[in-house]
Chain A
């Protein structure tokens, strides 16, 4: 057999850890991650509805758990994921029309998605907090 030669030293194509994380890339990942999280959040939604349909005892259990710190964080996270995924979806629908691909446009859309989702979530949280008389 002919002599075996070590493979030539060739540059490897850069992967995720090489790039400085651009905002557009982060928003792309966050759209999928928020969708993934919402997939399990829907189970909590179904639980809430079933508890309300079942009666006072079942609903009291839900209300107790949703009143704990962890429960509050889960509800806050679910709300943020919902709003973020919705705004990310709007961005994707704009892209589906063939618009919004320019260098400035996509940066602007990515920034609008994250700033918008954080702002709207904050508004929802503050209104909810005030509506509950500051108890949550």
Chain B
């Protein structure tokens, strides 16, 4: 009868709890902070490594990238970056894609892309490091 009659008896708080656009939140929020803190020194060192490799040929580049210290730093940079960018893109998608099925498709694509790019980079570093 009345237009303001409640459609159900659950309180607004109980309905909204854990039901944001992403259906989850604090773990990703925290992991995004962890990877951003770690990412600061790793980014600085990765840029310096990149500058040191400018203009070198493949053999020299592979040798430097495969040397233990550089390889470990690059692995940390890649893993940190990929975790951070996966959460970041997920945040963008749940913010801007209202269509549920398109959103799920893009979230899947995001996961696949991040794993593929991350593992490709990790594989390349390990290959140069182990010299196979």
Number of A-B residue pairs, CB cutoff 8 Å, is 90
Interface size class of A (residues with CB under 8 A): 35 or more
Which among B36, B44, B82, B121 is the interface contact of A89 at CB below 8 angstroms? B36
B36 touches A52 (CB 8 A): no
- Known contacts A46-B120, A46-B121: A89-B39 contact under CB 8 Å: yes
B59 touches A56 (CB 8 A): yes
Residue in A closest to B65 when the chains form the complex, CB atoms = A52
Contacting residues, chain B, for A53 (C-beta < 8 A):
62, 65, 123-125, 127-128
Which among A49, A83, A93, A132 is the interface contact of B36 at CB below 8 angstroms? A93
Residues 31-50 (chain B) with a chain A CB within 8 angstroms: 33, 36-37, 39-40, 43-44, 47
Q: Give the interface SS of chain B, mostly helix, strand, loop or mixed.
A: helix
Which residues of B does A touch, CB under 8 Å?
Answer: 33, 36-37, 39-40, 43-44, 47, 51, 54-55, 57-59, 61-62, 65, 74, 78, 81-82, 85, 88-89, 92, 117-118, 120-121, 123-125, 127-128
Which residues of A does B touch, CB under 8 Å?
Answer: 32, 35-36, 38-39, 42-43, 45-46, 49-53, 55-56, 58-60, 79, 82-83, 86, 89-90, 92-93, 96, 124, 127-128, 131-132, 135-136
